[in-house]
Amino acid sequence: MQSKPNIVVSSLDLDRLEALLAATPERGFPGKAALQAELDRADVREPADMPSDVVTMNSTVRFQLQDSGESFEQTLVYPKDADGSGERISILAPVGSALLGLKVGDTIEWPGPGGKPLAVRIVAIVYQPERAGELHR
């Protein structure tokens, strides 16, 4: 079992995510129980006290594919704000829930075409609402 530090979550995101989870059936969201467990043990901070290098809701994250060096950006959003463009990722989508609370420098592996793993590194938080002073976004 991989050991990971607790994720850091803002109190506002926590409140909204708990309301979302309460309204979402398990069959609609693989890993609902796992996200609830992460939130239960998260390091919760006031929005103004969030570290600036952590992925929060509505943050735009720049990733880099380890193999190709290709970089791309995705914004972690609530389901109501998701589209299919690939530039916004819902917290209820596979991988989406993995991003919350990760930090610049963290690497995750997700399955790519043909089921082959893609190693993907977080290289920057391009936009973070809390850092931008948007504490109620």
Which residues make up the interface to a second copy (CB under 8 A)? 2, 4, 6-7, 24, 26-31, 33-35, 37-38, 63, 65, 68, 70-74, 77-87, 89-90, 92-95, 97-98, 100-102, 106, 108-118, 120
Q: Do 3 and 38 contact (CB within 8 A), yes or no?
A: no
Helix (H) or strand (E) holding 65: strand 60-65
CB of 31 to a second copy, least distance (A): 5
Query: Among residues 2 and 48, whose Cβ is nearest to a second copy?
Result: 2
> How far is Cα 67 from Cα 74, in angstroms, rounded to an integer?
19
Query: Among residues 70 and 133, whose Cβ is nearest to a second copy?
Result: 70
Query: Among residues 37 and 132, whose Cβ is nearest to a second copy?
Result: 37
CB of 87 to a second copy, least distance (A): 5
Q: Cα angle at 48 between 44 and 52, to 5 degrees?
A: 85
CB of 18 to a second copy, least distance (A): 13
User: Which residue type occupies 85?
Assistant: S
The Cα-based distances of 110 to 65, 66, 96, 114, 116 in angstroms read 10, 12, 11, 12, 8
CB of 108 to a second copy, least distance (A): 4
